[in-house]
Structure 1
Amino acid sequence: MHGLFVSDLHLLSPRSACPHIETELADYAGAHKCIVLGGDIFDFRWSDRGGHDQTLEATSRWLQDLQLATENTDIIYLPGNHDCHPDFLEQLEKLSQQSKNFSWQPHHLQLGNNLFFHGDILDAGNSLEDLQRYRRQFHHVKPQSQWAHRSYDTAVGLRVHKLVPRILHQPMRTCQRLQNAIDRLNLDDAKAVRNVFFGHTHVPIEGLKLNGRSFYNPGAGMKHMQLQPHEFTFERAIPASEIPLASDTSTKPPSK
């Protein structure tokens, strides 16, 4: 079975720059394929939709449209720090109950020898509990001010948003830290992991080798940044019924 991993589109933010991504995902879709949406697909923190409810409505429409365009394809959603609001997670849960081809996990997913997660555990601490606390900082409801948006636009215009990640998240050091994080995820079969797919850092990585594993990061779909979704394979299709429900995990972020 073939799959595609993409993350950090930051849709609904004025800095997002991937207007054709829906078409690209639809073109990729097909039988015996899956798409893993690896977090920060939407940007609740910097949404320009005018309010929390409007942002939720926009995310719902986008996901429903994507399902219609990829009806024979399994879609798995892994939230990041910019799309982890409890209201949105409830929306994901409802969608997973309504559709046989849609599912979600709070933090990570293993398909065969492939491991997927957003990657914000890099900034959160040493455990999933630390990650939950970190993500609560991003549970924004009020829109950002126009002044804040203009300041961010200035930083983007100066390419500061591109420089800072490259300083803070240098590929080798980042992958070494992720190796340590993997040991704390209590995976069912950690020894089988050979390919690690993650986002968050906005720094593209193409198969960096470390201790028998290859690391991949698609970059980010933001202005002046590079976005390169990564393909992967695994041995067999996994029906949604075999993927543990997010509501069954002990690491689901707390409700409001």
Structure 2
Amino acid sequence: MDWFVSDLHMFSRRSIYHEHEEEIMARAQEARVFVLGGDIVDFSWTTLPTVAATIDASIEWLAKLVASNRNCQFHYLLGNHDCHADFVDQLGELTEENENLHWEPYFLRIGSAVMLHGDAVHLKDRTNVALAMARSQKLHNKQPAYRHGIYQLAIRSKLHAVVGKLANPRRMIAGRIWDYLSNEHVDLDHAVRNIYFGHTHVPMNEYVFRGVNFHNGGATIAGLKFNMLPMQLDGQVEPIDRNVERF
């Protein structure tokens, strides 16, 4: 079985990754392909002393995961919370040291399946160039303590779950992902059957839009639902155009 997981938001106070860690590690041991679909870690909302310390902890976690499962091919896709330049540099070094680890800035295609984080859905211009610009402008400074407190209040009131569903209706999100991938010349009409994505934190299972199945596993955030997504893969990894800035 092959698996897609995203939006763990590790090292943030809102994350309940530890409640799912055993399952994630078990699935990685059995997988042929394991896709980490972005926002696996969260540099802005980290509870560690510094962003640098969080980067070190993230690379250590990923290195152990990859080294413990040499028969599995891992693919790390960047999200809007883990696209920090220093992390990307170390991620690149880690992929050079491990043949079973690869990373992509935007999306990955294997046969009839496409995997992506999905943060392009909230851009007016849904292209890789626009996504690179938006991510480059994002500040990953550690959030002050009072903002952590405000977010915890939202979680306790379950406001974040209600807002997430209202702001991310399935048809709209699927349509915007369709637009983004079409803009990047992915042949959705004939060759793609399944799309796996994260970012919205709203679970979606086999939602059909224009003949393609859309899947979202939610997030390991208190008050939200989370599921690992089994992927249906039927081909080899296709190369991604790298003629634009990677993040």
Normalising by structure 1, report the TM-score.
0.89
1:52-82 Cα shifts (integer Å, max 9, x gaps): 2101111011101211332211100001000
Deviation, 1:151, is 0.9
Contact 1:194 1:212 in 2 (8 A): yes
What RMSD in Å do the two structures reach over aligned CA positions? 1.8
Q: Quick one: distance in 1 between partners of 2:178 and 2:168? A: 14
Name 1:136's counterpart in structure 2. Answer: 136
1:168-224 Cα shifts (integer Å, max 9, x gaps): 10112211221112211123x543111011110000000001111000000011001
User: Is 1:253 matched up with 2:216?
Assistant: no
Q: Secondary structure at the match of 1:183?
A: helix
Deviation, 1:149, is 0.9
Name 2:102's counterpart in structure 1. Answer: 103
Please list every run of 5 or more consecutive structure 1 residues that lacks an aligned counterpart in the other structure: none
Contact 2:4 2:228 in 1 (8 A): yes
Give the aligned length: 245
Contact 2:77 2:116 in 1 (8 A): yes
Contact 1:106 1:251 in 2 (8 A): no
Q: Secondary structure at the match of 2:154?
A: helix
Please tell me the residue identity of whatever aligns with 1:128: N
Q: Quick one: distance in 2 between partners of 1:65 and 1:167? A: 38
Please tell me the residue identity of whatever aligns with 2:246: P
Equivalence map 1:89-238=2 (5 Å): 89-126=88-125, 127-140=127-140, 142-187=141-186, 189-190=187-188, 191-236=190-235, 238=236
Contact 2:112 2:234 in 1 (8 A): no
Quick one: structure 1 residues 253 and 29, their matched pair in 2 at CA, closer, same or farther if it must change by over 3 Å?
closer
Please list every run of 5 or more consecutive structure 2 residues that lacks an aligned counterpart in the other structure: none
Normalising by structure 2, report the TM-score.
0.93
Name 2:52's counterpart in structure 1. Answer: 53
Quick one: structure 1 residues 125 and 251, their matched pair in 2 at CA, closer, same or farther if it must change by over 3 Å?
farther
Q: Secondary structure at the match of 1:19?
A: helix
1:14-64 Cα shifts (integer Å, max 9, x gaps): 100120444323312346611100000000110111112101111011101
Quick one: structure 1 residues 47 and 32, their matched pair in 2 at CA, closer, same or farther if it must change by over 3 Å?
closer
Please tell me the residue identity of whatever aligns with 1:84: C
